[in-house]
Each structure stands twice: as structure tokens, then as C-alpha cells.
Amino acid sequence: MAQSNSLKACVPAYLKEAQLIKQGAEARVYRATFLGRPVVIKERFTKLYRHPEVDEKLTRRRTTQEVRSILRCRRAGINAPVVYFVDYTTHCIFLEDIVHSVSVRDHIASAQTPQHLQALVEKIGEVLAQMHDEDVIHGDLTTSNMLLVPGAEHQHIHLVLIDFGLSYISALPEDKGVDLYVLEKAFLSTHPKTETLFERLLKSYSASSKKSSAVIKKLDEVRLRGRKRSMVG
């Protein structure tokens, strides 16, 4: 009881004013204003079923990883939200709100024909190759974790990567291959009959990175392992 009271007292004042936009299993995402700017606040909350010390460590690690990978991407010119402020006592990250954006997931779902999407998947392949060249492994690549800013100039696609809570730094082709495998699974199950489109994404990835052949080789291995596992049952 004493613990839940003290937890309630910890709700930061800025969250009381914020508007909840997503309640996830690990985090709550809010919209608010910070220093006059529109922000998204991502709050990782305490899991009461976990040991408090373990929980604190895990939550802190996710927060740190998210911030570190965003900064690493931005330094390399890869679009990810600006990090305005991090509160390590309440595990809140204040991010630039990518206003008027739509998720790649919703964009693909509403596209008339796959032809409309070719330039987009080529852009995704290019950006992911850049990210992997910086040794950032995203850890949760899905089309929901990519935002599109509409209204960009013709030919120019403004793609922003988000949700780096499971990311880490690694130069291993295997880790990059698994990252692509996670995306492939998510992509093909979210967007049926897009095999050709996804192949195009991988082609663009390959053309954009000198290190891609080892990664694609690993991707093939991981796919094979997945298939063998499903045959065993």
C-alpha cells in the first residue's frame, strides 16, 4: 500500500497536463507542449510484477538505449525525432513531435496499388542500410515504427524512424540480418501479398550499403532456421 501511494506521488506534473495517445505494454505515449514546442513524451512505467531493482534496471536501460540510438542516427543524418529532454527518475523521454505524420503501416494500407509504394520501400531500404552502417540495430522494425511526413516535395520522401527502446549497437552481420528478418515477418504479415515489394526493399538495402552482402547472407540463414523450426513444430 505504502508503495502504491509513493508511486502515485511520483507522477510528474508535466504528465498531468499531457494528453495520452497510446498506452502500450511497456510505455505510455503522450502529446504535450515543452518550452513552447509540440512534444511527444514517452514514459516507461514500473511493472509491479517485476522485482523493483530488476525493473528499475531494465526500464533505465530501455530509456538509455532509446536515447543513445536516436542520437547516433541523427548524428549520421538519419531522420529520428530530436530528443529535447530525458528525465531518468521518471523514465520519460521528451521527443520532437513529428506533426501530421502517418505511419508507414497506415500509408501502405491505404495505397491504391503496389506501384505507388515502390519509391517508398526503396527509401526504407536505403535508410535501414544507413542505420546498419552506423551499427545501430533497431530491434523492433515494423511499419508502425516508421513515420512519413506528407507534403514533401515530389521525389523526396521524408521518412522518420521511431521506437528505439529495443535497439542496441552491434557490427555483427548476424544482428543486422535478424533485424531485417523481424521486419520481413512483420511486413509480410501486416501487408499481405507484398513479397515483391519487400524484395525491392532488400534490393535497395543491398545497393545502399557496401556491407550488405554479409547481412543478406545471414538473413538467408535466419530464414532457413525459421523454416526448419516450423517444420519440427
Contact present, 185 and 146 (Cβ < 8 Å): no
Which option in Mg ion, ligand ATP, none does residue 52 bind, with CB closer than 5 to 8 A by kind? none
> x/- string (CB under 5 A) for Mg ion, residues 145-164?
x-----------------x-
Among 43, 122, 163, 184, binds ligand ATP (CB under 6 A): 163
Q: Least distance (Å) from ligand ATP to the CB of residue 154?
A: 24
Task: HSE, CB side, 13 Å, CA atoms: give it for residue 96.
Answer: 16
Which listed residue (22, 37, 50, 51) binds ligand ATP by CB under 6 A? Answer: 22
Whether 90 and 154 have beta carbons less than 8 Å apart is answered as no
- Positions marked active-site: 140
Helix axes 195-208, 118-133, angle to 10 degrees: 40
| Contact mark string toward Mg ion, 104..143, x via CB under 5 A | ----------------------------------------
Among candidates 72, 57, 22, which has minimal Cα distance to 43?
22
Enumerate residues 6+ apart whose C-beta is below 8 A from 173: 211, 214, 215, 217, 218
Minimum separation from the CB atom of position 121 to ligand ATP (A) = 19
Q: Which residues in this chain contact Mg ion in the complex, by CB under 5 A? A: 145, 163
